Homo-oligomer: A and B are copies of this chain.
């Protein structure tokens, strides 16, 4: 992945984030981790991705501190890949991707998996940026204030 980490000094947080998780496999691995998957072979089975790509992406995510490697929880010699706090903090990104997909990429009666609150079984409410009065913030009402580079 020659294109990786070319924007690590970019003053735009979106660019820096995409440098680390801006490819589908990385984000699918994070999604799978939220679903409880921890082992190389289980990621591979679930994603149907080639071993070399999986190995490359998991390695990069470990290197970036998004996943950590730990001994298997069942005492076997397997390694497990678990999200660090930095990786867990990607939850809003996964939720935002999910909710856009739900709104835009499924027909009304097209079945899809559902993110629910474990405690109540209710679907997780739409997560949208809000202004300080609590109203949904439209892109037209937001702007980016550039920072001069150091």
Interface residues of A (CB under 8 A from B): 3, 8, 11-24, 27-28, 31, 34-35, 86, 88-106, 111-120, 122, 124-125, 127-132, 137-150
Contacts and interface: CB of A to CB of B under 8 A. Distances in A.
A96 B27 CA distance: 13
Contacts of A91: 129, 138-139, 142
Contacts of A3: 24
B16 A101 contact: yes
Given A116-B143, A118-B143, A27 B16 contact: no
Residue of A18, A20, A88, A119 with most partner-chain B CB within 10 A: A18
Nearest to A7: B24
B93 A100 contact: yes
B103 A89 contact: yes
A93 to B, nearest CB: 4
B13 A106 contact: yes
25 contacts: A11-B111, A11-B113, A13-B99, A13-B106, A17-B97, A17-B98, A17-B101, A18-B97, A22-B22, A22-B23, A34-B139, A34-B144, A91-B129, A91-B139, A92-B96, A93-B100, A113-B144, A113-B145, A113-B146, A115-B142, A116-B145, A118-B142, A119-B131, A127-B128, A127-B129
